[in-house]
Chain A
Amino acid sequence: QCGHILLSAPIVHLGDQVMASCIINQNCSHLVTEWQIVWKLEPELHPRERQQHLPNGTLQSTITLPHLNHSRVLLSCCLHWGNSLQILDQAELQAGYPPIAPHNLSCIMNLTINSLVCQWEPGPDTHLSTSFTLKSFKSQDQCQTQKDSIPDCVPEDGQSHCSIPRKHLQLYQDMSIWVQARNALGTSISPKLCLAPMDVVKLEPPTLWALEPSPGVAPPQPGCLRLRWETWKPSLYIEQKCELRHQPRLGEAGWDLVSTLPARIPEYELCGLLPSTAYTLQMRCTRWPLPGHWSEWSPSLELITTQR
């Protein structure tokens, strides 16, 4: 090899000093017309340079970049040959930061995909290739001690969420969960969560229906609506409570909320509304009395109250 580049370090902290040497050995000397090393830097920089002929006949040029403030610099070591500049070797310099601790880690047990889905904030860009890994272990005593480990969950590139499949979970036992961030300059870990997957379950929304008038049943009172709902079928085994919100479809009125409704009742009459007025209604449910997250609001149901 005619010439090669040596770096003090291929990856450094942004702002640090970096030195690079290019060494041209003897067997290359007979080729060149001008026995001088030329550096090409991309982006263009103007480092201090020192070039010297070494006793063993080699030629060495050392450049110093006192404060590297580009995250990537491509260095080319060249020599004049005829009227062209010949590239003898290249090296890439990288600069960035060690990862700070990922934060805002939160998890939801998703019964649709039967996985514990965790997401986090990765923190500022480190300018370096940084890998994130969701780590966890099963525990019994509020995550004080590790019982069984769980395979690392590696998110897809650039993603800040990862899903732990059901087969690695004990739904009703505590598990400790955290995120590790790692790049060439360091490693950091997020604060740890301690949770039982079912205690962070988030259900799919219920379905709202209007109750059709039926013979032998008196119509609703003026300013009332009659409706029913069904909770999400895969969650039938979970005790839940629900809440209903309603607002006139037209006008500026905000939502009114009816809370702590049972998950399963044959029908419900909502009164105290404006007569012959179109209303938009939505419902959501949550696991209860055991802990869980509220579902999203259901699709809207549009109903009109009876006249006076």
Chain B
Amino acid sequence: TPLGPARSLPQGFLLKCLEQVRKIQADGAELQERLCAAHKLCHPEELVLLGHSLGIPQAPLSSCSSQSLQLTSCLDQLHSGLFLYEGLLQALAGISPELAPTLDTLQLDITDFATNIWLQMEDLGVAPAVQPTQGTMPTFTSAFQRRAGGVLVASKLQSFLELAYRVLRYLAEP
């Protein structure tokens, strides 16, 4: 079964990952709540057109779907996705003084999670030879674009985390 190597994932690692996903989801939800409360930017679906023009990418998790789970590739996509969101959140720096602490916590937690995944891949001997490098990031040229970008990035991140949570919980099942 595609899960053969999954049994090589320590239960402790999976439980920590699940906890980290929940923590990042909580951080992301707080960012969304603050953006909504402070700037009335509450619905990402109102910003789809802007999202296209800004070129905010979506991180793929195609190898993590339960129908076709390939563990090594799934871990790699998880790490790459988290790495992408690290970059997107850095691009949002200066979003606003009130949101900065929330953004910092979100970045720290995502970086922690990405490190956890990478170290586990190294332990399994499946880590890529070199760490990924950040691609070109969208450029936010106004305070509004940074806030709207914050809404879109947070929304995409939540979708990404939902998928990640599902596969991690699946892998953690005894």
- Point out residues on B near A: beta carbons under 8 Å: 12, 15-16, 18-20, 22-23, 25-26, 104-105, 108-109, 111-113, 115-116, 119
**Least distance between B161 CB and chain A CB atoms (Å):** 11
| Residues from chain B with Cβ under 8 Å of A167 in the complex | 104, 108
* Closest B residue, CB atoms, query A140: B119
The answer to whether the Cβ of A198 comes within 8 Å of any Cβ in the partner chain is: yes
* Residues 164 to 202 of chain A near chain B (Cβ within 8 Å): 166-167, 170-173, 198
Contact check, B108 vs A173: say whether CB atoms are below 8 A apart: no
* Closest A residue, CB atoms, query B109: A171
Contact check, B112 vs A172: say whether CB atoms are below 8 A apart: yes
Please report the number of residue pairs spanning A and B whose Cβ atoms sit closer than 8 angstroms: 42
Contact check, A172 vs B20: say whether CB atoms are below 8 A apart: yes
In the complex, what distance in Å separates the CA atom of A238 from the CA atom of B15? Answer: 10
Contact check, B16 vs A239: say whether CB atoms are below 8 A apart: no
* A173-B19 contact in complex given A166-B108, A167-B104, A237-B26, C-beta closer than 8 Å: no
* Closest A residue, CB atoms, query B20: A172
The answer to whether the Cβ of A289 comes within 8 Å of any Cβ in the partner chain is: yes
Contact check, B22 vs A289: say whether CB atoms are below 8 A apart: no
The main secondary structure of chain A at its interface with chain B is loop
**Least distance between A263 CB and chain B CB atoms (Å):** 13
- Point out residues on A near B: beta carbons under 8 Å: 114, 140, 166-167, 170-173, 198, 236-239, 289-290
- Which of A170, A198, A237, A289 is close to B25, meaning CB atoms less than 8 Å apart? A237
| Residues from chain B with Cβ under 8 Å of A166 in the complex | 105, 108
- Which of B18, B23, B119 is close to A173, meaning CB atoms less than 8 Å apart? B119
Contact check, B115 vs A170: say whether CB atoms are below 8 A apart: yes
| Residues from chain A with Cβ under 8 Å of B105 in the complex | 114, 166
The main secondary structure of chain B at its interface with chain A is helix
Contact check, B12 vs A173: say whether CB atoms are below 8 A apart: no
In the complex, what distance in Å separates the CA atom of A173 from the CA atom of B115? Answer: 9
Contact check, A290 vs B22: say whether CB atoms are below 8 A apart: no
In the complex, what distance in Å separates the CA atom of A186 from the CA atom of B18? Answer: 47
In the complex, what distance in Å separates the CA atom of A290 from the CA atom of B116? Answer: 15
A–B pairs, 6, beta carbons within 8 Å? A167-B104, A167-B108, A172-B115, A198-B19, A236-B26, A237-B26
* Closest B residue, CB atoms, query A234: B26
Contact check, A237 vs B19: say whether CB atoms are below 8 A apart: yes
In the complex, what distance in Å separates the CA atom of A238 from the CA atom of B162? Answer: 17
Contact check, B119 vs A239: say whether CB atoms are below 8 A apart: no
Contact check, A172 vs B116: say whether CB atoms are below 8 A apart: yes
In the complex, what distance in Å separates the CA atom of A198 from the CA atom of B22? Answer: 14
| Residues from chain A with Cβ under 8 Å of B109 in the complex | 171
In the complex, what distance in Å separates the CA atom of A239 from the CA atom of B14? Answer: 13
Contact check, A290 vs B15: say whether CB atoms are below 8 A apart: yes
* A173-B116 contact in complex given A166-B105, A167-B104, A237-B22, C-beta closer than 8 Å: yes
| Residues from chain B with Cβ under 8 Å of A238 in the complex | 19, 22-23
Contact check, A290 vs B112: say whether CB atoms are below 8 A apart: no
**Least distance between B9 CB and chain A CB atoms (Å):** 15
**Least distance between B105 CB and chain A CB atoms (Å):** 7
* Closest A residue, CB atoms, query B16: A172
| Residues from chain B with Cβ under 8 Å of A239 in the complex | 15, 18-19
